[in-house]
């Protein structure tokens, strides 16, 4: 009986140590994500994503939320579908008009379903994609930098507040990050060993990306750059079919093979897309022309965002209608959206937005490990020797290392350029695809542990420990994480809002805060301005909704105005800032003039309540449309001026960094509403008209 050689035995031993450790870490990662989201309310986009995925499975219909990835919506909806929850009737206007927002609200709140059960099941399901992302990060890093490098990269992914915040949310961002990374790796592998399996893996991975995120066409640019790099490197291409192996050295033959492989991708990717859309062109199943319409019914037919290519694809039914609609919808949405950064609001965004979010929302300890990886790469390049013991020139060594990591750099650079030039500055989550390649590259820091360079090794271990401590310290508020560059999460609302901080996730925490501070059932006037689509009453929060004070439809003029009173104001960080609520933009002279005019007209209405003749004369002084909208304008402007005042001072308290608590006295309320103009900001609408 022959025993294992020492090297084989060591390899077997490492295997049995590595696999259980990897499984345990991935399980811990999944549990940490699910635990962090367990007591969080519905975030803004989750309802429509869940409703969309449910209808894809249940009705083979794609009218709901077609602009987001089909694949992640199916993943999150599958556990909910299998649990037998009731879905709203499809015989209603919301369904016929493709109103996914309303259907999602009904699905979660009006059907007698268990809201918490639906949330945690859908979130636990989608979190598995984040686990898959962590596994790919580990495997790629291990291939480049060995088991220790793989472990470091895995820990960086597991302990990333950005990944932990977005991984368990029922949206498509982590799915996009996963398939960008996976398709880039699979393509690079195929470019170095062309077999039926590597070709199939690359095609399916890229197809997965196209049904995961509408930004997938960016992969075409990445692929072209990687093919060019592969040609520059000029090495033989092994082609393996069964047991036959050919080594192709000719550039011309390689070009022909790569062209053939890309042609296969042109077939495989649409096949994946058509599969996820049930091999049907029409977005809607059993639609009636006069009854069922897209959410934006003219988008594909008349929109300027629908390029000639898209219009041609629509005419020839090259891809499913829902997919084409989703791509055009995203192109249109990316043109302009209200964004906030460092006290400023903008419809066009800033080139510095994503670099800034990366700087303030990435743990400094993680950035320190990345720096150690850079230093390790340099040290390794300088100290490398060939087989004869001669030193290898730094340039040659660097080129070989950079070539090995070329797909990671390509993904990083192209994605960074894309997001920097984008106008869609609504959330740090859109930067997610740059983190996994960074984590993989950070595996190079294992050099210090493998070479036992004591000071650097100790620093690396200390930074990993600090990252773990900080991650656990801020549990479960990962969406609100900010690093020490801006003073941590407590000052985050001054820098970024929306899905970078406050996405409507903290109603359960607000409920606990109100109970612990004796504000439930007290005589204190309690106001809530909530940024989100969950329902405060689902958590037994009894407060006056500021948004409910403003009528949603125009009414005849009333001789009264619902007044704001001294009390406690609970305001979502996003709503505090000058976006999201009407009027949008900072308080300025134009708003002030309108506010004063509206207040005077409200007072005139009140004075003429019992004098029909005077009331009739007053109503003739302005248009009917103005008087119908007066109450709406009055409440919106009043709360906007109050918010502008509150922005000038520190909140009295905060709930999980995302909901700010202000105790407003009679004197302060009078100052806010009757005092000098609280802030003098630019007139953004006027600026946009000039451009």
Lowest-pLDDT choice from 57-71, 363-377, 417-431, 448-462:
448-462
Mean pLDDT of 633-661: 95
Going from the C-alpha of 261 to that of each of 30, 199, 200, 350, 403, the distances in angstroms are 36, 7, 10, 39, 21
Lowest-pLDDT choice from 123-137, 176-190, 315-329:
315-329
CA atoms within 13 Å, Cβ hemisphere of 680 = 3
Mean pLDDT of 338-354: 90
Give residue limits of the domains in the chain.
353-473, 499-690
- DSSP strands (E only) in 186-332: 237-241, 244-248
pLDDT value for 2: 44
pLDDT value for 560: 43
- State both tokens at 311: 């219009």
pLDDT value for 633: 87
Q: For residues 257 and 248, is the Cβ–Cβ distance under 8 A?
A: yes
Mean pLDDT of 592-608: 91
652: which DSSP letter? S
pLDDT value for 390: 66
pLDDT value for 647: 96
H-helix segments, 499-623 = 507-516, 573-576, 589-607, 612-620
Centre a 10 Å sphere on the Cβ of residue 151 and count the other Cβ atoms it contains: 22
Closest CA to 151 of 29, 33, 32, 21: 21
The answer on pLDDT for 174 being more than 90 is yes
Q: What is the pLDDT of residues 514-529, one digit of tens each?
A: 999 999 888 899 999 9
CA atoms within 13 Å, Cβ hemisphere of 379 = 15
Buried b (16+ CB within 10 A) or exposed e, 369-380: bbebbeebbbbe
- State both tokens at 115: 């809201």
- pLDDT grade for 288, boundaries at 50, 70 and 90: confident
The answer on pLDDT for 304 being more than 70 is no
Kind of pairing between the strands at 544-545 and 526-529: parallel
pTM, rounded to two decimals: 0.92
d(CA 41, CA 658): 12
d(CA 670, CA 416): 48
Mean pLDDT of 646-671: 97
Task: Spell out the residues 6+ positions from residue 682 whose beta carbon is closer than 8 angstroms to its own.
Answer: 585, 586, 588
- pLDDT grade for 682, boundaries at 50, 70 and 90: confident
Widest pairwise Cα distance in the chain: 113
Residue that wins the pLDDT comparison between 333 and 91: 91
The answer on pLDDT for 691 being more than 50 is no
pLDDT value for 686: 58
- State both tokens at 346: 């903008």
Q: For residues 181 and 436, is the Cβ–Cβ distance under 8 A?
A: yes
H or E segment and range at residue 379: helix 364-383
Phi, psi (degrees; rounded to nearest 5) at 204: -70, -40
d(CA 280, CA 269): 16
- pLDDT grade for 553, boundaries at 50, 70 and 90: very low
d(CA 429, CA 421): 16
Lowest-pLDDT choice from 403-412, 427-436, 609-618:
609-618
- State both tokens at 249: 């050295």
Q: What is the pLDDT of residues 364-411, one digit of tens each?
A: 999 999 999 999 998 887 766 655 666 667 777 778 889 999 999 999
The answer on pLDDT for 482 being more than 60 is yes
391: which DSSP letter? B
Task: Spell out the residues 6+ positions from residue 553 whose beta carbon is closer than 8 angstroms to its own.
Answer: none
H-helix segments, 433-588 = 435-442, 446-450, 454-473, 507-516, 573-576
pLDDT value for 32: 98
Share of the chain above pLDDT 90, in %: 72
Residue that wins the pLDDT comparison between 107 and 347: 107
Cross-strand bridge partners of residue 544: 527
Mean pLDDT of 133-137: 98
On average, the pLDDT of the chain sits at 90
Mean pLDDT of 462-482: 98
Q: What is the pLDDT of residues 196-222, one digit of tens each?
A: 999 999 999 999 999 999 999 999 999
Residue that wins the pLDDT comparison between 93 and 390: 93
pLDDT value for 298: 67
Dihedral sign, Cα of residue 514, residue 515, residue 516, residue 521: positive
User: Is the peptide bond between 476 and the residue preceding it cis, with omega within 30 degrees of 0?
Assistant: yes
Residue whose structure tokens are 């670099």: 355
The answer on pLDDT for 77 being more than 60 is yes
């Amino acid at each position: 009986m022959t025993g294992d050689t020492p090297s084989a035995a060591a390899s077997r031993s490492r295997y049995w140590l590595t696999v259980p450790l990897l499984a345990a870490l991935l399980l811990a990662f999944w549990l940490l994500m699910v635990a962090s989201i367990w007591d969080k309310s519905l975030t803004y986009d989750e309802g429509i994503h869940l409703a969309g995925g449910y209808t894809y499975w249940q009705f083979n219909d794609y009218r709901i939320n077609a602009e987001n990835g089909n694949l992640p919506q199916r993943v999150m909806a599958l556990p909910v579908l299998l649990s037998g929850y009731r879905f709203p009737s499809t015989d209603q206007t919301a369904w016929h008009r493709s109103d996914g927002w309303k259907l999602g609200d009904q699905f979660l709140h009006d059907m007698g379903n268990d809201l918490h059960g639906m949330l945690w099941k859908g979130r636990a399901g989608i979190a598995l994609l984040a686990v898959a992302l962590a596994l790919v990060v580990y495997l790629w890093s291990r291939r480049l930098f060995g088991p220790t490098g793989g472990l470091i990269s895995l820990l960086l992914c597991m302990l990333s507040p950005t990944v932990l915040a977005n991984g368990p949310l029922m949206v498509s961002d982590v799915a996009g990050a996963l398939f960008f990374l996976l398709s880039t790796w699979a393509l690079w592998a195929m470019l170095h060993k062309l077999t039926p399996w590597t070709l199939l893996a690359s095609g399916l991975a890229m197809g997965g990306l196209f049904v995961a995120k509408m930004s997938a066409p960016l992969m075409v640019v990445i692929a072209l750059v990687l093919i060019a790099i592969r040609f520059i490197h000029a090495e033989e291409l092994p082609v393996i079919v069964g047991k036959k192996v050919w080594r192709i050295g000719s550039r011309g033959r390689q070009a022909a093979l790569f062209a053939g492989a890309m042609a296969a991708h042109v077939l495989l990717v649409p096949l994946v897309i058509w599969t996820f859309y049930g091999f049907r062109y029409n977005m809607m199943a059993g639609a009636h022309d006069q009854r069922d319409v897209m959410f934006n019914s003219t988008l594909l037919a008349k929109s300027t965002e629908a390029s000639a290519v898209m219009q041609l694809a629509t005419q020839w039914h090259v891809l499913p209608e829902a997919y084409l609609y989703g791509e055009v919808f995203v192109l249109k949405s990316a043109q302009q959206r209200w964004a906030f950064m460092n006290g400023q609001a903008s419809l066009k965004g800033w080139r510095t937005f994503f670099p800034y979010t990366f700087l303030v929302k990435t743990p400094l300890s993680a950035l320190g490990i990345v720096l150690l990886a850079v230093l390790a790469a340099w040290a390794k390049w300088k100290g490398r020797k060939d087989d004869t013991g001669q030193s290898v020139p730094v340039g040659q060594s660097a080129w070989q290392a950079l070539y090995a990591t070329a797909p990671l750099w390509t993904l990083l650079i192209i994605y960074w350029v894309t997001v920097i030039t984008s106008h869609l500055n609504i959330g740090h989550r859109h930067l997610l695809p740059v983190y996994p390649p960074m984590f993989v590259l950070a595996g190079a820091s294992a050099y210090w542990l493998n070479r036992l360079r004591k000071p650097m090794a100790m620093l690396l271990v200390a930074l990993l420990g600090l990252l773990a401590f900080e991650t656990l310290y801020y549990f479960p508020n990962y969406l609100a994480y900010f690093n020490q560059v801006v003073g941590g999460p407590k000052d985050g609302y001054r820098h970024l809002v929306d899905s970078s901080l406050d996405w409507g996730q903290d109603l359960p925490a607000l409920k606990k805060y109100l109970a612990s501070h004796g504000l439930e059932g007290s005589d204190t006037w309690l106001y809530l301005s909530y940024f989100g689509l969950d329902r405060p009453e689902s958590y037994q929060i009894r407060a006056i909704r500021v948004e409910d004070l403003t009528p949603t439809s125009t009414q005849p003029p009333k001789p009264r105005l619902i007044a704001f009173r001294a009390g406690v104001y609970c305001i979502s960080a996003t709503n505090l800032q000058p976006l999201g609520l009407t009027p949008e933009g900072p308080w300025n002279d134009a708003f002030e003039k309108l506010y004063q005019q509206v207040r005077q007209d409200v007072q005139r209405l009140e004075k003429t309540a019992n004098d029909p003749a005077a009331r009739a004369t007053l109503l003739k002084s302005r248009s009917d449309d103005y008087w119908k909208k007066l109450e709406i304008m009055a409440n919106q402007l009043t709360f906007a001026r109050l918010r502008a005042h509150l922005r000038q001072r520190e909140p009295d308290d905060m709930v999980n960094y995302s909901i700010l608590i202000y105790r407003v006295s009679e004197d302060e309320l009078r100052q806010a509403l009757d005092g000098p103009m609280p802030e003098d900001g630019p007139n953004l609408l006027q600026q946009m008209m000039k451009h």
